[in-house]
Structure formats: C-alpha cells, structure tokens
Structure 1
Amino acid sequence: MTDLPADLPTDLPTDLPTEADVVICGGGPIGASTAHFLARTAPQLRVVVIDDAPADDTSHVTTYRYSGGSVRWTWSDPVKREMTAETADLVRSLLADGVDLAAIENSYHLLHTGEHIPALNISAAKLVAHLLEQARGAGVQVYSDTVVDGVRPEGSGHLVETSRGTIRAARVLVALGAANKRLFPHGGVDLEKRQLFVLDAPVPPEREGMPHTIVPVGDGFGYVFVKSVEGRLRVLVGQEDIVEDDDTSGAVDYWATLLDRGLATALPWLREAKTEQILWGVDIAQKKLVLDEPEPGLLVAGCGSAVRSSAWLGRTLAERLSEPLAG
C-alpha cells in the first residue's frame, strides 16, 4: 500500500458519450488491464473507462495506490501460478521496452522453509497509468473523477448512471475494487484493511537487494521488503494474522506490538526502527477472486491483491466482454 496516484493527463475528455459497446467502471488494475487488452484484441469496439477513483481517497478504497506491488509466480496452486506468471511476463515485456515501473528484481525468502522464490516489485500506480495510457492511445475513452452511481438493465443492454450523466452499453464491467460493495452490497464480498509500515531504517547498498522476507510469527506471519516509495528506497513491513485489526476507518499503529510478538526475535535489526508512515487500504478479504454476472452482459469482478493477477484478469475479462460483440 505504497503507491500514490500517478499524475493524470490534462487532456482527458469531458463530455460523456451516450452509448458505447463496453463500459468499464473502474480504472484500477483490473479495469486498466481489461481496457488494454480490449484495445489490442477488439479495436472495433467503442470502449469507455469510467475511473471512479477519487483524487482525495479518504476511504482508501483505491487499494492499488497503496499496495506493496510484489509479483511472484511460483505457487503450488496451478491457477494462481498461471495468473501471476502472466502478469510477470507482461511486466517483463514492459521493462524490456523501457517502461518505468520503479521495478526491483528480488526474491521471496521463506524463513521457515529456506526457500528463495523469484519475484518482482513494481509501482502499481505506474503500471495502471501505463496500461490506461496505452488504451487511450488505441482509442479507448477514459473519464477520470467520475463517480458511478448505479448500473441497471435496459432492453438488451445496460444503463450506467454517473456523476457526468448516463451512458448505455451493450456490456458492462464493474471493477471498482472494494467499492464494488457500494453498488452491489449483497454480492457476498467481505472487506478487510491491509496496511504497511514505512520504517526509518536505512537502506545501504548491501540492503538494496534484500529479499522479500516472510517471517512466521505465532499463527500468522510478517513480511519485510524494500520498495521504491516516492523515488526513495524504503523498508516496509506488513503482517497477516499477527495482530487483529478490524478498523477500516484509518491507520492503526501497532508496530510495537508486532515487534513484541516475535518479529524482533526473528529479525533483530528491526528493533530500533520506527514508523515514519502507515500506508493502508481497504481490500477484498483473503485476497479472493470474485467474479459474478448478476445480469447477462454485466460482469462484476474483484480480486484481493489484484496487481499480481492483473494481466490474466484483464485478458480473460476482455475475451468475455468482446466475444458476443465482435465478429
């Protein structure tokens, strides 16, 4: 949860069209990737992206802005392995083309097993901004700071009601992350807060290549890694199931508790570190993939930690959205 929103272009369109073939509600990892793949594979379709992400995200529901941005692709689960490997391939191709993603090539070090698993760390905001810009360059219309108020069926299509007006589309994807629950409160999605501690620990040259270290603590684990935050390498710490934190209204500083419960025993060099900043966001619980079709042609997609699976999700959703329309 470390990425701040990227600077938006100043020449975005202002007048919402009345019709489109596909409307994508949400300009985060899933929406941006879907728009990117639709522009590549179905350029004949009129695609509109409505970016519901507020510039002042006081509820922190635009979780990718604050995500750790780690992508690993070695998993025992074959589906998870396929999803993350496809994203890693996309990231590598962008890096080979010179796209700045603030990338760090490292590995996951599982202290309890001794495994070192290849990984990449990237800026999620930079990835999303690049995918949206590529889609725009291919003709996709992107509307920022536009709130989606509702989606309802009409005839053979759907009406998307927004703060800029109403647009009719044959197919609609709702990919607003945690904000999906605002439009579809009975969709069976549970939310949880995720937060990262940005520490004042120095990052000397010998620490720049530090692996993403997974530390078992009690019934949970902590993770410690180095990431580029606002152009500086910083040490970040997150946790799962060490401290219960159900408060989704804001950051909670339980750094001292993490140390006392065993993190400092495993990694003594953290004992003297202090929290400089807490980066938090509200995400889909347990990093689950949720895909629903409440009405024909209306897809609702969400995924906890969506960045690492974004390429697979975008390609798959683009295929579903374009198949009935193309041809």
Structure 2
Amino acid sequence: MTLPAEADVAICGAGPIGAATATFLARPGLRVVLIDHDPADDPDHVATYRYSGGSIRWTWPDPVKREMTTQTEQFIRGAAPGADLGMIENTYHLLHTGEHIPALNVSATGLVGMLRDQAQEAGAMFVDALVTGVRPDGSGHVVETSRGAIRAGRVLGAMGAANASVFPQASAEPEKRQLFVLDLPVPPERELLPHTIVPVGDGFGYVFVKLIDGDLRVLVGQEDIVADEDTSGPVDHWKEILDSGLAATLPWLRDARVDDILWGVDTAQKTLVVDEPSPGVLIANCGSAIRSAAWLGRTLAERLGSG
C-alpha cells in the first residue's frame, strides 16, 4: 500500500512483536500503520523468527515468564482451528530434573503471517518499506522510510536486532542463535520425541522434532556449550557440541550429519525490554518472542493505546 502521510501509531517491524501489537491495537478510528521490509532471503538474518524453533512451554517458576507464555499458548489454541500453524503437541523433558512439561511447537512464520492478517482485518495498514530513521516533529514524530515519510503521534520500534540500526538508544543486547537440522529419519516411534533438554558443561543442548516444509525433522540447538559470536554467517560446530557431552547422553545423535543450519541474530534477553528515549517512542525487544507473542502484543498495545 501507499504510505499515508499521517498515523496515530506507526509500528516499525512486523515480526512477532510488531504484528502482535498491531493485532491487539488496531480498532475503528485508530490509524495504525505497520511498516516492514522483510525479504525472504533476509541477508542480515535479523528476522530471527524465521529461524525459530517455535517451541512454547508455559510452566515456569518465574511468574512473568509463566504469564507471557500461558497467554500465548491460549491465544494460539484459540486461533489454531482456522490457521495453518503446523502445531505439534509435545512435552519438554528436562533430563536434569526428571520433569515432563506440556508444550506446543508451532510454525513461527505461520504464526507471524496469521498475526499480520488479523491486524489488517482489524484495520491496521501494512506498508512494505524499509525504516531508515525516526525523528521528533512537534508533538509527534516522523518515521522516514524507503518509500517516503509518515508523521505519527506514537512510534513502536519492533524490528528485533535491526532496532539498533534505527534506534541507537536500544539497550537490548544482540545474540546469535543456531539450530542444526539433522539428516536423521523420523519414523513413527520418533514422532513423539519430547523437546529434550540436556545439561552439557556450563550450558545445555536441546533436541526436538519440528515440521519443516511439511516434513518432520530432528533439530538440535545449544546455549552456552560453544561460544559463537560470528554474526556473519552459520558456523558448523556440531562435532564440538557432540564431543562436549551431548553424544554421551544421547548416543543416537552420534552418527547424524547436518543438513542445514538455521541461524539468526536475536535479543539475548527473553523477557520484554522496553526503552522510551522520548515521550511517545517505545523500543521493544524480547528474545524468543514467538513463545510470548500474544502477551507482548497485548502489553505494548495497552501502552500505545493509552498514549
């Protein structure tokens, strides 16, 4: 669509945070414009939801995480009958505690696409454009884009790791994430593999099954087993992860080969981080945003809608 001259709220970024916020914010009489340029090849790999594992568990000791994920699980279940979310009912199996925790796995791109559609159905306008800057203008703000400028009373920066390029005031720290897609078969007896959490040294590995392009695949991720700060591309440290202890615990992974590496630059913090550099401008970041998308959208919509 053509970029309008004015809006009440301009949302920069249409990933899980931006799209969910637009969904809960859009209503008759409120001009909400969602601005995003999300090319399928994503050369900088900052649309991290594309490479997300998409696993959601809602049993956490921390009450904030519990609320964030429970609201999202309930929202997804309510929407799932009418949406293709590739949903798998599974569990988290924490080997170090013996716990089996109910969980869902969903298509992150499917969920974001559904949120965008719902936002537009509710009245939000979507414009495909690259946000290049935001500056104050009287009582409002001007959002500069590759397709012109728009003046908005309130602005939300929700571009994930790309927030830093437009909003240098953002305090969230970037973090590289990788998932290894393995060549292992998924016979019927492996289809119900739980999302298995394995302590390894000072970190842990996680192994799970996910629908990718219609096929069930075995994926493995890791946190704090192997340090990887190279944000220029994927790094195949699969053998190092195996040798660090993962293969000793799960020997069936020992002969697996890596078919693909899904990687992206996410936010390190997995709870909502909001910066407000000036009245009416919010910069929102949250790592693993898919699992908390509904809560994030409601929370930010309340703040922006009351402005």
- TM-score, structure 2 as length reference: 0.98
**Matches for 1:253-268 after TM superposition, within 5 Å:** 253-268=236-251
Q: Structure 1, residues 186-211: CA drift from partner, whole Å, max 9, x if none?
A: 42222111000000011001111110
* Residue 217 (structure 1) aligned with residue 204 (structure 2): no
Tell me what 1:18 maps to.
5
* Residue 32 (structure 1) aligned with residue 19 (structure 2): yes
Distance 2:175 2:152 in 1: 32
Q: Is the 8 A contact 1:192 1:285 kept in 2?
A: yes
* Residue 198 (structure 1) aligned with residue 181 (structure 2): yes
Runs (5+) with no aligned partner, structure 1: 1-12
In the alignment of these two chains, the number of paired residues is 307
Q: Indicate the SS of the match to 1:31.
A: helix
How far is 1:288 from its partner? 4.3
How far is 1:134 from its partner? 1.3
Q: Indicate the SS of the match to 1:22.
A: strand
Q: Indicate the SS of the match to 1:261.
A: helix
Tell me what 1:188 maps to.
171
Q: 1:70 aligns with which of 52, 55, 60?
A: 55
**Matches for 1:103-252 after TM superposition, within 5 Å:** 103-144=87-128, 146-252=129-235
Distance 1:71 1:189 in 2: 22
Q: Which runs of 4+ in 1 moved over 4 A?
A: none
Aligned-pair identity in percent equals 68
Distance 1:150 1:290 in 2: 20
Distance 1:117 1:184 in 2: 38
Q: Is the 8 A contact 1:52 1:176 kept in 2?
A: no
Q: Indicate the SS of the match to 1:287.
A: coil
Tell me what 1:322 maps to.
305
How far is 1:51 from its partner? 1.0
Distance 1:289 1:226 in 2: 27
Counterpart code for 1:127: L
- TM-score, structure 1 as length reference: 0.92
Counterpart code for 2:62: D
Distance 1:154 1:122 in 2: 41
Q: Is the 8 A contact 2:49 2:108 kept in 1?
A: yes
Tell me what 2:290 maps to.
307
Runs (5+) with no aligned partner, structure 2: none
